[in-house]
Structures are given as structure tokens and as C-alpha cells.
Amino acid sequence: MKRDKRLAFIPLALFLAVTGAAPAQPTSDQAALSQQVSAWMAEGYDALERWDYAQAEEIARKLETAAASAAADTKIQAKAAYFHGRFQFYTADYEASRPALERYQELDPGNVHPEFTDFLAQVRFLADLWKDRLEFKSEHFIIRVKPGKDRILVEPALEALERAWPVLTRELRVTPPGPILVEFYPDFPAFSQATGLSEQDVKTSGTIAVCKYRRFIVTSPKALVQGYDFQNSICHEFVHHLIYLRNGKHCPIWLHEGIAKYYEPRWRGEPGGTLPLTSLSLLAAAVRTDQLISFERMHPSFAKLDSPQQGQLAFAQVTSTVDYLIRTYGQESLFRLLDELKKDTDYRQALQWVTGKPFPQFYAGWKEFVRQEHFQEIPGLEVVELDIKKPGEPGGEDEDQVSEADLKENEAWKFVRLGDLLRDRNRVAPALVEYEKARSLMPLNVRLLNKLGLAYILAQDYDQAVARLDLARTYYPGMADTNVKLGQAYTGKGDLNRAIESYEQSLTINPFNPFVYENLIRLYEKTRQTDKLEQTRKRLALVQG
């Protein structure tokens, strides 16, 4: 997640900042009413923070009634309008929120501060963005998308969430009161506007979805060059949602993320705490060299860490910590810890209470646990940053170029560029020589492995292509491009079932690539999988708009 606790206090602080400075000379009735209104508003904000929107709605109604009474002055009317606008924003009804906030601006122009202006701008943006929204409901979730290609996300998203629902609610012992809204934002600027996260934040922490205001704010995979495993990500947010329902704000960020990451793969039936090889390698190296990131440094947000490597290491640490806790002290220990934290206890004390060991001892135990796991440190393994698509930039399978920064970073990129130049001139064999030269210098670079895979496909050496691409998929499973090329290579080899599997895998990361659907249709026809054929054709039509 990726949830920022500080954000929870912004509305109240904002309102107090907006209204507190206002001079008032009320009559006695007005004074009483004003006092009452202030009390309601404090309650209202608390309800909003607790995601108790039913209570917040009730308070909003009370405020409206108060504002309509004869004793109400413009200040009270303004307060009511403001609360109403904010309440509607929390419930994601931006079109209702906007006029209320604008009314507040009219009623109390003297108290319009930059924070409010920013907030109003955000609401206006979101109201405009979602005015033509499409919403799709399942039993427990509502998916909101913009008309167009994002429609393709609805079915897989609902499928993943509904599969996650019974597993996660059971395992985390929390059941959300009503349907949960999931908003898929069409591009990164919109996501950024909705969450306030910068591109660098996203790159560092890998945050592409946020659980906030009792809904999931999610970036569409089409906003990223390579896409991402959006089903996993929304299930990750679902875990955050459940923890928040369970503990409110009484859960430190490291534990929040650790639990979410631990339970993230459960919807697929995979065991909890499964981490990719890159993370394990980073973790093993950090434990060996004692370069671990302290839990304190993970506050207030993983997005504020120094680099993507640190972000990935932090996730590995916290996931492994939760894994250690559960495996060493049992599943109940996690719930006991959460319960203890509800009491606003320091996590170190809470951990001691649960494990019976002081935190340093627990931490040392965890480190020993990691050592005992014998995670492999893989030389040459690299952390892949999320690559946000620039305006007009094609995504997916389009060739990525060797940049000047690459060339400065490692001489190997020189050979890659030479390989690209030769390959583009149909000199595939010499290109392969150059690529292999580069590979001898950076054996596990995913971009290079993908280029090698493509070159071997062009050279019709499908065995070599599969070997290189398989390596890429093993270490970097989140790359749609790798899976697409693997699909091509397996097709070339004549292994149609594996080709289908690879293409299908690529769609879980980037479901917007028409080329993949077209190939799948051909393969389904060949393998006579008529049941999937029709569905894939429909999806292709959606993607092609």
C-alpha cells in the first residue's frame, strides 16, 4: 500500500486552518449552534477517518439541517457545505463534492487558503475525469473505469478480488461492511493527482495502487511501459483494506506492508510470504553485509526510501519478518500483535509482548532465520524500476533504446547498442555476437536478455531464445515483454501449449497488447480451444476499441 498515515489528518487540519482564523461575533443562538456544529464536525472527521461513512453521512445531514435553520449564519452554512463536500469526496462522489466545496468558497471567501484551493482543484479534476465513468459490480466489489480500453481490466480484476475475498477475509478474520470501490486511473498524471504521489515515489516504492478513503486507487497497467501484475496489486490493497478495518491507524507501516506482501499471493492459492528471487537475493546480501533498512526508516512511507533497491529490500525485509513471526510463533501471534498495537502500543513492546523476546533479540532471531533459509545471492541480478509511460510513448513490446545514461553506467551497453544497430539492419548473427559480448559483462540484465531472446527468434534459433527468455522470466517475472517473446519462441519451436501459457501470462501484466490476443486466437484455433476463442476475440475487440 502504501498508505500514508499523515494523509489521514490532512482534512481536519485543513479545515481548522481554513476556518479557525475566521473572526466571529456570534449571537448567543448562533454561538450555541456554532459550538454544536464544531462538535459534529469533529465527530464527522473522526468517522471519515474510521471509514464509518454511515455516521459521517448522518452528521452531514445534521449539518445541513443546522445550516438551513434561521439561526445559521454564513459561517455555519460554509462549514456544512465544506463537510458535505469532503464527505462526498470520501465516498468518491466527486461530482457531488465539487458544488459543495464551491459553495463553501462562495460563502466564506476570506478563509480560502492554498490547501483548500489545491483540494478543490483535485476534486474538480476528479469530477471531470470520472464524469463519464463506467462501473461494474460484483458481489463485493465495484470497479470504476474510464470508457475505452480500461474496460479490459474489469473481468480479471473482479475475478481476482472475488477469489481473494473468501481467502483473505477468512485468514485475516475481517469482513468489510459493504462493497469496495476500485478506481482504475487511466494514466499516471491522473493517479498522481488522485494520490499526490510523484513519479519518483512510484519508482522507489513500486507504488502503483493505493488503499485510501475506503477504496483502491489503482493505476491502469497501460500507464506503464511494461504493465504490471495488477491482479496481485489489487489483492495486496485488499489486504491493506482489511488491516485498516481491523486496526485503523494502529499499525506501523512496516507491518502493514509486511502483512500485505505476505498475504498478497494467497488469492492464487500460493503460500504466503513468497518473494521473488531478486528480493531474496537483496535480502541475503543485506543480511550478510548488515545493510538492512531499519523499520524506522520505512516510516512514513516506503516511497520515501532512497532507491528502488531500497524499496525492494524493505518489502523483502518486512515480508520475511511477518513470515518469521508466523512460522516461529504461530499464526495467532500475528493477530495478537495487531490487537496489541490497537492499544497504541509501540511495536517493539508489542512484539516483546507477543514473542516474549525483547525486540533486539527478535530482530537477531529473524536475521538468523534469514541466514538459515540460505537465500541465494545472485550476482548481476538487477532491480527493475517501474517505467512510467511518457505521453505518446508506446508500451509493451516496443524496443527500448540504449540511452546515454546506460552507456555511461556500463560499457556493456555499448555492445547492446551495436547489437541493436546491426539487428535493425537485418544482420542478426553479428548482432547476436555483440549482445553476447554484452551478456558476458552483465549476465542477468533483463533488457539485454529480452533483446537476446528477440535476436535468437529472428535467427530462428528458438532453443537459445527460450533459454535466454526463461532466464529473464525466472528472475524478472513481472515483464510482459519477456512473456510475449517467450510465446513467439515457443510458437517457433512448435510447442503451442507453452506458447499459449506464455501469452496468457503476459496478459496478466499487460492486457492491452492486441498482438498477444491475435496470436492467442490463432493458437486457440490450432489447438481447438473453442471455449477460450470467443472470449479472446471479444477481449481483442475491447482492446482495439
Partner 1 sequence: MNASLAIVRRKVADLRRRIFWIQAGQGLSLLGGALGLVLLLAGALPWLPAPLGLIARLLLLLALAAVPALFLVRPLLQSKSDDHLALLIESAHPELKNALINAIQLGREQEAPDPRHPFSAVFLDKHLEHAASLIPQVALDRAAPLHRLKQRFLFLAIAALALALAQAVAPKFLARSFSALVLADFSLGAGKSKTSLARTAEPLTAGEFSLRYHYPAYTGRKVQTVEHSNGAITALKGAQVELATEVLEEVREANAVLEPGGKIPLRVEGGHRLSGQLTVMAPGAYYLEAFDRKGRFHAEPRGRPILVEEDLYPEVTLEQPVADLEVSPGDSVEIIYRASDDFGLGAAFLVFRLKDAEQRREIFRAEVPTRERRARFPWRVEEDEIQPGETVAFFIEVEDNDNVSGPKASRSQTLSLSVFSPRKRHEQMLARQEQLLEQMLGHLGDHLDDEIVRQRAWANYNLAQAETALLTSGRAVQTDLEKLALDLEEDILTEELVRSTLTGMARTFGALLDQREANLAQLPAAAGWQLALREQLLREVENDVIFFDKLIKKQRIDQILAQSRDLYAAQAELADLLQRYQQSGDPALWEEIRKKMAEVEAAYQALLERMAQMPREMPEEFVNAEALQNLKFKDFASQMAELKKALSAGDAQAAMELANQFLASLNAMMSAMEEGAGGYGDAISAEALRRMGAMQDELTQLEKAEQKLIEQTEALEKQALKRDQTSSPGLTQRLIEKTEQLEQRLAELNDDLLKLRPSPQSPAAKPAAPPQDFYAQRLPLYNQLHALQNELPYRKQELQAQELEKALEGFRRHEQTLDQAQPMLKDFLERQKPAPQDQSQALPGQCQAAGDLNREIIRELLSRKQALAKRLSPEERARLQALAQDQDQVKDRTQRLLDDFQSLSQDVPGLPSEIEQNLDQGQAYMRDASGELSLEDPGRALVPEREAKQRLSQARQALENAAQEMAKGMKPGLGMPFPMAIGAAGRRGGEGGRRGLFNRDFELPSQNAYQVPRAFRQDILDAMKDGSPDEYKDLNRDYYERLVR
Question: Of 420, 449, 500, 513, which lies in the binding site for partner 1, with binding defined by CB under 8 A?
Answer: 420
Query: How far lies 206's CA from each of 300, 308, 313, 477, 479, in Å?
Result: 15, 7, 12, 15, 14
Question: Of 25, 110, 290, 405, which lies in the binding site for partner 1, with binding defined by CB under 8 A?
Answer: 405
**Min. distance of Cβ 411 from partner 1 in angstroms?**
8
Stretch of 108-116, 261-269, 346-354, 394-402 contacting partner 1, by CB under 8 A = 394-402
**100 or 438: CB nearest partner 1:** 438
- DSSP symbol at 388: B
424 binds partner 1 (CB under 8 A): yes
397 binds partner 1 (CB under 8 A): no
**117 or 401: CB nearest partner 1:** 401
114 binds partner 1 (CB under 8 A): no
Question: Of 150, 201, 264, 434, which lies in the binding site for partner 1, with binding defined by CB under 8 A?
Answer: 434
The Cβ of residue 429 has, within 10 Å, a number of other Cβ atoms equal to 12
Cα distance between residue 148 and residue 185, in whole Å = 12
Give the containing element (helix H, strand E) for 136: strand 134-137
Total residues contacting partner 1 by CB under 8 A comes to: 26
346 binds partner 1 (CB under 8 A): no
**286 or 432: CB nearest partner 1:** 432
CB–CB of 77/115 below 8 Å? no
User: SS3 of 142, please?
Assistant: strand
CA 132 from chain centre, in angstroms, equals: 24
Cα distance between residue 518 and residue 516, in whole Å = 5
440 binds partner 1 (CB under 8 A): no
Stretch of 71-79, 134-142, 144-152, 408-416 contacting partner 1, by CB under 8 A = 408-416
Question: Of 337, 422, 465, 523, which lies in the binding site for partner 1, with binding defined by CB under 8 A?
Answer: 422
**336 or 437: CB nearest partner 1:** 437
407 binds partner 1 (CB under 8 A): yes
Give the containing element (helix H, strand E) for 141: strand 141-145
165 binds partner 1 (CB under 8 A): no
Stretch of 194-202, 204-212, 344-352, 414-422 contacting partner 1, by CB under 8 A = 414-422
**Min. distance of Cβ 402 from partner 1 in angstroms?**
8
DSSP E strand stretches across 197-248: 209-212, 215-219
Question: Of 430, 477, 492, 514, which lies in the binding site for partner 1, with binding defined by CB under 8 A?
Answer: 430
Identify which of 119, 98, 117, 121 has the alpha carbon closest to the alpha carbon of residue 109.
Answer: 117
Contacts of 4 (CB under 8 A, 6+ apart): 300, 301, 303
**Min. distance of Cβ 203 from partner 1 in angstroms?**
16
**Min. distance of Cβ 380 from partner 1 in angstroms?**
21
441 binds partner 1 (CB under 8 A): no
Q: Name 219's bridge partners.
A: 185
Q: Name 134's bridge partners.
A: 145
Burial of 145 (0-12, 13-18, 19+ CB in 10 A): buried
163 binds partner 1 (CB under 8 A): no
Burial of 194 (0-12, 13-18, 19+ CB in 10 A): buried
Give the angle subtended at the CA of 419 by the CAs of 413 and 420, to the nearest 5°.
Answer: 90
Question: Of 20, 23, 25, 390, which lies in the binding site for partner 1, with binding defined by CB under 8 A?
Answer: 390
Stretch of 54-62, 200-208, 238-246, 422-430 contacting partner 1, by CB under 8 A = 422-430
Identify which of 185, 241, 173 has the alpha carbon closest to the alpha carbon of residue 213.
Answer: 241
415 binds partner 1 (CB under 8 A): yes
**Min. distance of Cβ 429 from partner 1 in angstroms?**
6
**Min. distance of Cβ 463 from partner 1 in angstroms?**
17
| Residues of the shown chain interacting with partner 1 in the complex, contacts defined by CB under 8 A | 390-393, 399, 401-405, 407-408, 414-415, 417-418, 420-422, 424-425, 427, 429-430, 433-434
